[in-house]
Amino acid sequence: MTVAVEPRDDGVAVVTLDRPERHNAIDLATAAELASAWRDLRRDESVRAVVLTGAGERAFCTGIDRSVTVPQPPSPYAMDDPLRDIGPKANDLWKPVVAAVGGMACGGAFYLLGEAEFIVADETATFFDPHTSYGMVSAYEAVYMAQRMPAGEVARMALMGTAERVSARRAYETGLVSEVVPRGEAVAAAVRAAAVIASYPTEAVQGTVRAVWAAKEAALAQALARAPQLIALGNRPPDAQAALFAARGPGFRTR
């Protein structure tokens, strides 16, 4: 198992991506386990709020595992993306989800962060989007982040690729993160907030979650609908992407 679900006695469940040796990157099995976990939590009446985090200190999640091969249909108008169904909202879970981030959060991690209600980060957290560096279109990731950050900040993060990382403090200043806490304390802070939310009447909480999402659903749906075509037309072939990934340099700037 690469996704651990820990129910607590205060109405909170902690969902942990448990592949620290791979920086909690998501392979096909992990993607399926995430979807299954969200669907199970929908039906668990003892759980009224969820905390999502990653195991280890180095990363919350680094997106899709680059060892994964995903066969694609032979049309630029269709694309299979194993990360489209890994988020709570994609699985019709409307219980509030608080993300607790330490270390790196990049690329496909934004599918998860984009469907959380809010994000707590520890001071080690960094956020970046490597797609353009490897000849890939940042479509879904940029769309999700555009729901949380000013457009200029999203554009900069997506276009700067691996050359620049956004610090926890800068993420807080731009609205991506709601709270920055000392190293190693993100989960505890997220659980504290989730426990307060779980103590309130669940109908009111879930109705409020729906109301907040209703404010952006139309724009989000339209933007996501364009993503497959942009990716199919703009991505370099997988072997060219792999060559760029293999040739990546170690340097980056954190702002």
Q: According to the model, what pLDDT value does residue 205 have?
A: 97
Q: According to the model, what pLDDT value does residue 239 have?
A: 81
> Which residues touch 221 (CB under 8 Å, ≥6 apart)?
none
**Among 13-22, 137-146, 147-156, 226-235, where is mean pLDDT lowest?**
226-235
Cα(179)–Cα(173) distance, integer angstroms? 10
Q: What percent of the chain has pLDDT over 90?
A: 76
**Among 95-99, 112-116, 131-135, 179-183, where is mean pLDDT lowest?**
131-135
pLDDT in tens, 198-238: 999 999 999 999 999 999 888 888 888 888 888 878 888 87
Checking if the pLDDT of 170 tops 90, the result is yes
Checking if the pLDDT of 127 tops 80, the result is yes
Q: According to the model, what pLDDT value does residue 53 have?
A: 98
**Reduced 3-state DSSP string for the chain:** CCEEEEECCCCEEEEEECCHHHCCCECHHHHHHHHHHHHHHHHCCCCCEEEEEECCCCEEECCECCCCCCCCCCCCCCCCCCCCCCCCHHHCCCCCEEEEECCEEECCHHHHHCCCCEEEEECCCEEECCHHHHCCCCCHHHHHHHCCCCHHHHHHHHHHHHHEEEEHHHHHHHCCCCEEECCCCHHHHHHHHHHHHHCCCHHHHHHHHHHHHHCCHHHHHHHHHHHHHHHHHHCCCHHHHHHHHHCCCCCCEEC
Q: How confident is the model at residue 249 (pLDDT cuts 50, 70, 90)?
A: confident
Cα(255)–Cα(253) distance, integer angstroms? 6
pLDDT in tens, 28-82: 999 999 999 999 999 999 999 999 999 999 999 999 998 887 777 787 677 778 8
Sign of the Cα pseudo-torsion (161, 165, 168, 171, in order): negative
Q: Residue 183 is encoded by which pair of tokens?
A: 């190293």
